[in-house]
């Protein structure tokens, strides 16, 4: 089997779609991720895999906290925008005119009206291949069940 075939096989794995938020001083940035999942039940933990060249990567390393905002049906344009533009070059929150609420425990703001916001404190980082896996403990959260979560499968955004 060639590497390309192995990549195509991997493409069949459905992945949840979220925005990772982080803050560095006055700067608040949000970045799209699909390599994210629950990592532990007790304590509640999530893991997210982020490439070192992403602006959000060093923001998490510096602040040791991050927000996971689970994205729902109808938010595809925001997902693509935040996944193709860098916070180094522009303020994504301002460009998209997104409303925020302060975090309850961490300094990173929540996105208003999101399906779910999970406030995470960094507990472990692991460099693995060309990405860093950040493991965060969920210390506060909000959610609503107004839409269905987006997943990425075979390169397309869809819902389950
Ligand atoms: C659907 C989708 C999923 C993505 N998943 C990831 C991911 O899991 N990890 C990652 O490092 N980058 C991922 N990216 C790429 C980043 O979101 C993208 O490089 C972004 O512009 C980085 O922004 P930043 O420099 O402001 O952090 C994804 C992009 C898209 C469109």
- pLDDT tens by residue, 129-140: 999 999 999 999
Residue 138 lies in a domain: yes
Residue 157 lies in a domain: no
pLDDT at 43: 98
Domain range enclosing 88 = 17-146
Contact 106, 121 (CB under 8 A): yes
* 153 Cα to the center of ligand 1, angstroms: 15
pLDDT at 145: 86
Integer Cα distance of 132 and 50 in angstroms: 5
Integer Cα distance of 58 and 73 in angstroms: 29
Integer Cα distance of 25 and 11 in angstroms: 37
pLDDT in tens, 27-46: 999 999 999 999 999 999 99
Residue 81 lies in a domain: yes
pLDDT at 160: 76
Nearest to 61 by CA among 110, 132, 138: 132
Residue 153 lies in a domain: no
Nearest to 19 by CA among 111, 86, 135: 111
Our answer on whether the CB atom of 55 is closer than 6 Å to any ligand 1 atom is yes
- Ligand 1 mutation target, pool 23, 31, 85, most atoms within 8 A of CB: 31
* 83 Cα to the center of ligand 1, angstroms: 4
* DSSP β-bridge partners for residue 146: none
Integer Cα distance of 70 and 36 in angstroms: 10
Task: Give the CATH number of the domain where residue 25 resides.
Answer: 2.30.110.10
Ligand 1 atom 15: residue of nearest CA? 83
Ranges of the chain with pLDDT below 70: none
């Amino acid at each position: 089997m060639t590497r390309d075939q192995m990549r195509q096989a991997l493409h069949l794995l459905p992945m949840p779609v979220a925005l990772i938020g982080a803050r560095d001083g006055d700067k608040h940035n949000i970045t799209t991720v699909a390599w994210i999942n629950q990592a532990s039940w007790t304590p509640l933990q999530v893991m997210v895999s982020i490439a070192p060249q992403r602006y959000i990567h060093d923001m998490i390393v510096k602040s040791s906290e991050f927000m996971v905002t689970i994205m729902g049906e109808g938010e595809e344009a925001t997902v693509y925008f935040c996944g193709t533009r860098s916070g180094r070059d522009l303020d994504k929150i301002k460009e998209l005119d997104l409303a925020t609420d302060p975090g309850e425990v961490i300094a990173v703001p929540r996105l208003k009206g999101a399906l779910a916001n999970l406030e995470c404190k960094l507990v472990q980082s692991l460099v693995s291949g060309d990405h860093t896996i950040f493991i965060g403990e969920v210390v506060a959260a909000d959610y609503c069940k107004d839409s269905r979560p987006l997943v990425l499968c075979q390169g397309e955004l869809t819902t389950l």
